[in-house]
A and B are shown apart, each in its own frame.
Chain A
């Protein structure tokens, strides 16, 4: 209080602005979604349908389930995730909101992080609903252990970090919706491989030392790709 208030605000401004901007972008998406619910309901129903299809195509009886639960869940999340990523960027592009966002006097990476946080939130909400449903349907062992849930969080972060960047690219092309999964899936294979292996490890109660390499890989991927996307985003929205 003793300092000059004007000087004080101007000194604090950039940092305050940056996180404020990130949260504002994320909050805008969440608020819009709370009112329309078109994205979440589509993702959710799609995810449940994928599980239903797996049920019949893989014949998920007791013995098969033991080995494929992690795979089924991750494929479901990945597919539902592309649906969400596509839609969330398409909304920005269609109504010209992206241009508006870009005009805002904040660092552009703040827009990236805002979009990534809201995409992550959508994905986590879908996961939070799908997991109990899967549990009720199949009653797998060791389902709600913290390690497994942690892997789901880490995997989703890696997926969304790359996905948000690529969906920003994909919406600016002629083939938009078709293109995102084609661009995204080959790049997120490390996330899927390590997340599936680590999830399977936790679900089947393997010792922690055997899960550790996968966990490390997942962490490394998350760090590398959040950093890469942070640096690349400027080039993707440049006009």
Chain B
């Protein structure tokens, strides 16, 4: 049985350290936002987890396409790993967003394009996991999974546009927001630093978890092969 490679161990330590540093940066180092107060600090982790979540879904869709092209099961485990990790991070982003929205918007949840699309995205990838569960043949599971992530990847932007035609109140901190946006603020330079730092920290954490999940995936497929050998 293989032990963790040295680089992965380094990443483990780095992830924990970066997470602690990100906590410090966002809770202590970042200045207090004038209007919203302490609750604005949620923003740093909210953006970082949502970023990592989106990256994961993009990786999943791309790995799906590569699988259909190359027919190598390795790409399927890449896709699955990305979806699983992204689901968790995206969920954290939604929960953090709710915590922020309660005092600022006066409600935990609103049917706003970004929120609704995020919820639908979660649904699509949960359906993806259910789909995989129902198929035993690994090759077919990979093929169907790849097609479903692909369809999901096409449908999510269309969903976003369709809900966008209703007006949006989600603040756009980077780039120009709509006139209807509530809770926008302009960032002080230290705020930008903290935001970029937490995005970086979560990206490293993502890479670490991704690596672990890929190792788990290859161990899983080895177990499956051994089982098949025993049955024969």
Contact = CB atoms under 8 A, between A and B. Distances in A.
Interface of A: 162, 165-166, 169, 172-176, 179, 182-183, 185-187, 189-190, 193-194, 197, 213-214, 217, 220-221, 224-225, 228, 232, 235-236, 238
20 contacts: A162-B151, A165-B147, A172-B144, A173-B134, A173-B135, A174-B134, A174-B136, A175-B130, A175-B133, A179-B130, A186-B123, A190-B159, A190-B161, A190-B162, A193-B159, A194-B162, A214-B165, A228-B151, A235-B147, A236-B144
A235 B127 CA distance: 19
Contacts of A169: 131, 144, 147-148
Interface string B147-165: 1101110110011011101
B143 A225 contact: no
Pairs A-B, 10 closest by C-beta atoms? A173-B134, A175-B134, A186-B123, A174-B134, A190-B162, A190-B158, A186-B124, A193-B162, A187-B155, A182-B127
Given A169-B144, A183-B148, A224 B127 contact: no
B120 interface: yes
Interface of B: 68, 120, 123-124, 127, 130-131, 133-136, 140, 143-144, 146-148, 150-152, 154-155, 158-159, 161-163, 165
Contacts of B147: 165, 169, 232, 235-236
Of the candidates B133, B144, B152, the one having the most CB atoms from chain A within 10 angstroms of its own CB is B144
B118 to A, nearest CB: 12
A224 B154 contact: yes
Contacts of A174: 134-136
A172 B135 contact: yes
Contacts of B130: 175, 179, 182-183
B71 to A, nearest CB: 10
* Dominant secondary structure at the B interface: helix
Given A217-B161, A220-B158, A179 B134 contact: yes
A77 B165 CA distance: 24
A232 B145 CA distance: 12
Nearest to A233: B147
Given A169-B131, A193-B162, 8 more contacts: A173-B135, A183-B148, A189-B162, A190-B161, A217-B162, A235-B143, A235-B146, A238-B143
A187 B151 contact: yes
* Dominant secondary structure at the A interface: helix
A185 B163 CA distance: 15
A187 B120 CA distance: 9
B181 to A, nearest CB: 21
A15 B182 CA distance: 57
B138 to A, nearest CB: 14
A94 B36 CA distance: 61
A209 to B, nearest CB: 13
A175 B127 CA distance: 12
Given A214-B165, A235-B68, A236-B147, A183 B158 contact: no
A173 B141 CA distance: 9
A182 B159 CA distance: 16
A168 B136 CA distance: 16
A160 to B, nearest CB: 15
A176 B211 CA distance: 33
Contacts of A213: 165
Nearest to A238: B143
Contacts of B133: 175
Contacts of A197: 165
A194 B131 CA distance: 27
Nearest to B125: A186
Nearest to A183: B127
Contacts of A166: 151
Given A174-B135, A179-B134, A183-B127, A224 B158 contact: yes
